[in-house]
Amino acid sequence: MTRSVLGIIGGSGIYDLPGLENVRDETVTTPWGEPSAPLRHGEIADLPMVFLPRHGRGHIFSPSDINYRANIDAMKRAGVTSIVSLSACGSFKEELAPGSFVLVDQFVDRTVKRESSFFGKGCVAHISMAHPVAPRVADCIAKAAEAEDIAIARGGTYVCMEGPQFSTLAESLTYRQLGYTVIGMTNMPEAKLAREAEICYATVAMVTDYDCWHPDHDAVTVSDVIKVLLGNAQRAQRLIARVARDFPREHEPCPIGSDRALDHALITAPEFRDPAVVAKLDAVAGRVL
Residues 26 and 41: beta-carbon distance below 8 Å: yes
Q: How far apart are the C-alpha atoms of 11 and 27, rounded to whole Å?
A: 19
pTM: 0.96
Q: Is 224 marked active-site?
A: no
Provide the CA 77 distance to its chain's centre, in angstroms.
Answer: 17
- Give, rounded to a whole angstrom, the gap between the first and last alpha carbons of the chain: 21
Burial class (CB in 10 A: 0-12, 13-18, 19+), 289: middle
Which 3 state secondary structure label does DSSP give 40? strand
- Binding-site annotation: residue ranges: 12, 54-55, 87-88, 185-186, 209-211
- Binding-site annotation: residue ranges for phosphate: 12, 54-55, 87-88, 186
pLDDT band at 220 (very low <50, low <70, confident <90, very high): low
Among the listed ranges 31-35, 92-96, 232-236, 270-274, which one has the minimum average pLDDT value? 232-236
Residues 158 and 107: beta-carbon distance below 8 Å: yes
Task: Please tell me the number of Cα atoms within 13 Å of 72 on its side-chain side.
Answer: 30
Closest CA to 92 of 187, 204, 172, 185: 172
Q: Is 139 marked active-site?
A: no
Q: Is the pLDDT of residue 33 over 70?
A: yes
DSSP-derived pairing of the beta strands 39-44 and 21-26? antiparallel
Q: Is the pLDDT of residue 231 over 90?
A: no
Q: Is the pLDDT of residue 245 over 70?
A: yes
Q: Express each pLDDT in 40-63 by its tens digit.
A: 999 999 999 999 999 999 999 999
73, 105, 109, 211: the catalytic one is 211
Which 3 state secondary structure label does DSSP give 174? helix
In order of start, what are the domains of the chain with their CATH numbers? Answer: 6-285 (3.40.50.1580)
Please compute the mean of the pLDDT values over residues 105-111 and round it to a whole number: 98
Longest pairwise C-alpha distance within the chain = 61
Q: How far apart are the C-alpha atoms of 266 and 274, rounded to whole Å?
A: 13
